[in-house]
Structure 1
């Protein structure tokens, strides 16, 4: 492993620049930081452009295995001091291992539409919420996560950390215009459901998610956009306590696991026939 000692090194500057959205969009690269996240990134089919590791981190057995995997794939690994690492990193308590990853670009047309199970973000703004929803979507076996225009950057540092490696497990499709998504759903006979509190809404457990469907979660403060509300079936989560509402990531977990339950039972039933 080559050692980097200069604060002005181009790779140090490049990694640091990826904390800005404009640079991630320009390069198609993003940062995956931390041991667990690095493990999942290294084991995935995604390309690692290069990695930084501190001497302390490199001495750990778990990190050694990650570095062996990266070097086996031909990804350059550079040893850096704690000071240099902190310049490139974004975390307050860094673990000494940082990967610059090249994102796999996914398109709506690449998703299998037969019995698609899509999770859609319509203006979700908090990166922690977005990452948690992405992680839940991965857990329930969704076919893709679609972020409509105006949603948070799904490859920001906090979103990537919150998703805990789920970026590497399912297609992440962002920057989609609402009208393009609705046209795609209509052409492919994908039923759209949106969480909303109005007279049109039915309890989320009464909706039928077993066929091709997309479940839309809206902005934390304002909910889903008018375009989606006008075009999708409305569902809500019944509550008996005094809480006014659920956090969007919590609401997503509730609804997505109901969809998972229905789809799982339907698949199990079909296999026993």
Structure 2
């Protein structure tokens, strides 16, 4: 059944608007994905979509028609609104006229013990730009990572900019968030997973490192790099050599370079 809503005071419209704020995403365990491609990715995953909000105009697209049909078959709440209402709710500059309210999937480190493969984690140590977080999740999914671990202090992985940056990969790689550094280190040590930290101090060029063992590669805060706590516990420190007086790479770019060296070595 499709509900046609004409008021900004409708509780589901107000819910979607409230999820722009982290405190409501945390409190309700919900977040928003927007745009045809991202909603498609959500539909194709096993994540629970509670509500879909869309405009009549967007129904002109065949892809949107298929999304609506798929969600109706899953008994998702369907809400059609006027473009003027949608524009009050959207968090994008050029909205495509469709969004989904999705229930967060909660993962823990212990979930990964069933994998029985050589672990390949990426650890984000207080990475604060949501665009970087989303891009790194996308790269981790593409590289076949076991999971993405985010320490406390990272940008919210469910913020709209991070979700967009992941291009839907948020639905395809396990994400474990909100852990302290000591919790991460204890888990990795207990399960014989080597810690590799990006650092310029006493480090090796990244392609000289053996990446074939179970490992977790730590990438740090945009301004301060990897914390001393991880640096001190790392079995190896690695860096990317740079030419032409370039001081550093963006953290998401660094992750892409290093993760694909892991992929190359493990083939």
Task: After TM superposition, give the deviation of residue 242 of structure 1 in Å.
Answer: 2.5
Query: TM-score by structure 2 length?
Result: 0.97
Q: Which residue of 1 aligns with 2:37?
A: 36
Task: After TM superposition, give the deviation of residue 237 of structure 1 in Å.
Answer: 0.2
Q: Per-residue CA shift, 1:92-141, capped at 9, x if unaligned?
A: 11000000000110001101364111011001000111100000000000
1:174 to 163, 173, 177: 177
1:202 to 201, 204, 221: 204
1:196 and 1:223 in contact (8 A); partners too: yes
| Distance in 1 between residues matched to 2:251 and 2:258, nearest whole Å | 10
What is the number of equivalent residue pairs in this alignment?
Answer: 263
Q: Per-residue CA shift, 1:168-187, capped at 9, x if unaligned?
A: 10111100111011000000
Q: Which residue of 1 aligns with 2:10?
A: 9
Q: Per-residue CA shift, 1:166-208, capped at 9, x if unaligned?
A: 011011110011101100000000001111111x100001111
* C-alpha RMSD of the superposition: 0.9
Q: Per-residue CA shift, 1:131-153, capped at 9, x if unaligned?
A: 00000000000011000011111
Query: TM-score by structure 1 length?
Result: 0.95
| Structure 1: segments with no counterpart, 5+ residues | 266-273
1:48 and 1:75 in contact (8 A); partners too: yes
1:53 and 1:98 in contact (8 A); partners too: yes
1:113 and 1:212 in contact (8 A); partners too: no
Structure 1 segments, 4+ long, off by >6 Å, are: none
Q: Per-residue CA shift, 1:19-72, capped at 9, x if unaligned?
A: 111111111110000000011001110000101010110121010011111111
Q: Secondary structure at the match of 1:229?
A: helix
Q: Which residue of 2 aligns with 1:146?
A: 149
Q: Secondary structure at the match of 1:124?
A: coil
| Distance in 2 between residues matched to 1:227 and 1:69, nearest whole Å | 47
Q: Which residue of 1 aligns with 2:47?
A: 46
| Distance in 2 between residues matched to 1:134 and 1:113, nearest whole Å | 22
| Distance in 2 between residues matched to 1:78 and 1:7, nearest whole Å | 12
| Structure 2: segments with no counterpart, 5+ residues | none
Q: Per-residue CA shift, 1:195-227, capped at 9, x if unaligned?
A: 1111x1000011111111001100001001111
State which drifts further: 130-139 or 77-86. 77-86
